[in-house]
Amino acid sequence: MPLAAVFQNSEHADSYDDASFVLDTTGVVIGDLMVVVLGTSENSSGDVALTPTGWTQAENVNWDAGASNSYLGVWWKLALADAPSETFTFTAGRSIPHTGVFFKVTGVKSVPPLAASTAIDGDNDQTHGIANVAYLAGDLVVAAYISSHFSVIQDITAGPTGFTQLAKLKNSTINVMSKNMAVYSLAAVSGGSTSGLTVTTDQFPRDTRSIVFLIPKALPSGGGGGMGLGFGIGF
């Protein structure tokens, strides 16, 4: 069974609310890999999105840029029951605007190693490079992107070439540092990398972040084991 990413639900909180994200697990079955992508705003203290109980953080990226700080993180958990009751409750140090996307990955036979890379683009332009990860035929590649601006309402207008959009959330107010987030996936039919791929916005965000990670087709055999992580940092 090939690996596939399936969107479940999302949440975009423009206002300051409690730090939780209720996950819609309809259709999730035992053995599915559950993945949460979370972005938050105004992280002046750096104390954001500590790992909820039972979840493993695959990667995160943060940039201390004063009032417009952004944080982007990815977490995973294997489903141990059909349609499990899940609320992703995170710690942010205080109530802050947040954006979350939840999806499942089907076809996972055991806990896979994830190769992950992050990138920060602080340039004041409309084309933003994403993190670079190399992949092989049969791998599932997921690209998460977040951008922010405190004085305009903006939109993400184009994702990386060849990728399918799983979710896109647009901020609707300019009086808080809400985030625009998009998550894309690629079921690779041949080997390659995400080097040179970009996301486009209709405005000039103050800062952007991306995380690209892959779930390899060549999954480990045998009894479960731990999860090995390979990291690369790109700017």
The pLDDT tens digits of the residues spanning 203-224 come to: 776 677 888 988 887 654 433 3
CB environment 152-180: b (16+ within 10 A), e (fewer): eebebeebbeebeebbbbebeeeebbbbb
The DSSP line for 97-110 is -EEEEEEEEES--S
| Confidence (pLDDT) at 221 | 40
The pLDDT tens digits of the residues spanning 29-74 come to: 998 899 998 887 655 555 455 667 788 888 877 755 555 567 788 8
Q: Using 50, 70 and 90 to split pLDDT, how confident is the model at 86?
A: confident
| Confidence (pLDDT) at 162 | 94
The pLDDT tens digits of the residues spanning 162-205 come to: 999 999 887 766 555 557 889 999 999 999 999 999 998 887 76
pTM of the complete model: 0.82
| Confidence (pLDDT) at 83 | 87
| Confidence (pLDDT) at 234 | 32
Task: Name the least confident of 94-103, 135-144, 158-167.
Answer: 94-103
CA angle 136, 142, 83 (to 5 degrees): 115
